[in-house]
Chain A
Amino acid sequence: MVADKVDKEAAGQLLDAMYLDMFHLIEEHTQCRVNLERANASGAILLARTRFQAGGCNSVSKAQIPTENSAEFNALCRVIKAKDENEVNIERHAVDKANGYVEPLHWFSVLPPMSLRHAVTKFRDCIELVAESTNLQRQLTDVLSWISQLRQSMLKQ
């Protein structure tokens, strides 16, 4: 009877700790998305400035990006496992046209304007934030599944 009570108390404390973890992760997750939104918006403004300077809304548009009929090419950015196996990092490959690593800037212009180069920097920041956000989301998913498992087992007792 006493052992049961102690078990229940311990489970309750563990549940409290996990809820606290969950709230911290939610806060970090939301903050990360807000940062992503900010970087994305800055990039979009720079794309708009490039279009304005080039004098046409089609200067940087989907018309220039490759389609299914284009030649194959590799992504410069890839997701790799970090030292901590549960986390991911972004690995950037150098441009190497011979091996299929093409420079995306050259789809839009042979001599890209400064605003387009700045936009690239902003979107690279976005990609780093995406990796950070993915790690937080995975941690949050783990905590949520632990909480639901613990709650299920507490209800069975």
Chain B
Amino acid sequence: MALHSAIKGKLISVIGDEDTCVGFLLGGVGEINKNRHPNFMVVDKNTPVSELEDCFKRFLKRDDIDIILINQNCAELIRHVIDAHTSPVPAVLEIPSKDHPYDASKDSILRRARGMFNPEDLVR
């Protein structure tokens, strides 16, 4: 079944807790492609960090994904991988979850911005 031929636009992928994934899938972002690769991953307390990291790297490599949504608490576990990704595509958005409210001080892009007006850098 060639369901994926000539589809316009790119996907939003989701890495997060059950409610985040179920919610965004209800919203219609979920897809399973012809290689049976889903664009979402449900993370629970038993999910190993290596699995999370592999999934994130796999999403980064896929050229049909434009936005990666990741719960901020999951992003904290793989912060080094997220900080290493500086390309604008795919955009990595750290979103809050039910149990973990949004913390701007942890957001990768805002941390980069804060580094821009660090007083120590401006002295010269």
Residues of chain A whose beta carbon lies under 8 Å from any beta carbon of chain B: 19, 22, 26, 29-30, 33-34, 36-37, 40-41, 43-44, 47, 60-62, 64-80, 88, 91-92, 99-100, 104-105, 107-108, 116, 119-120, 122-124, 126-127, 130-131, 133-134, 137-138, 140-142, 144, 147-148, 155
Contact = CB atoms under 8 A, between A and B. Distances in A.
A17 to B, nearest CB: 14
B65 to A, nearest CB: 9
Interface size range on B against A:
35 or more
Given A26-B110, A141-B88, A73 B23 contact: no
A79 B23 contact: no
Looking at chain A's contact residues, is the secondary structure mostly helix, strand, loop, or mixed?
helix
B102 to A, nearest CB: 5
Contacts of A127: 12, 24, 27-29
21 contacts: A26-B113, A30-B104, A30-B110, A33-B96, A47-B22, A61-B22, A66-B32, A68-B36, A72-B3, A72-B33, A73-B32, A75-B39, A80-B9, A104-B30, A122-B23, A123-B24, A123-B26, A126-B27, A140-B109, A144-B112, A144-B116
A73 B31 contact: yes
Looking at chain B's contact residues, is the secondary structure mostly helix, strand, loop, or mixed?
mixed
Given A65-B30, A66-B32, A78 B91 contact: no
Given A65-B40, A120-B26, 19 more contacts: A19-B116, A43-B23, A47-B19, A64-B22, A74-B4, A78-B7, A78-B8, A79-B10, A100-B4, A120-B27, A122-B23, A130-B67, A130-B69, A130-B95, A131-B67, A134-B67, A138-B88, A140-B109, A142-B88
B53 interface: no
B20 A72 contact: no
Contacts of B84: none
Interface string B63-84: 0001101000000000000000
B34 interface: yes
Contact of B21 (A33, A62, A68): A62
A70 B9 contact: no
Q: Which of B3, B11, B117 has the most CB of A within 10 A?
A: B3
A127 B14 CA distance: 11
B26 A105 contact: yes
Given A19-B117, A72-B32, A74-B31, A126 B23 contact: yes
A22 B113 contact: yes
B96 A36 contact: yes
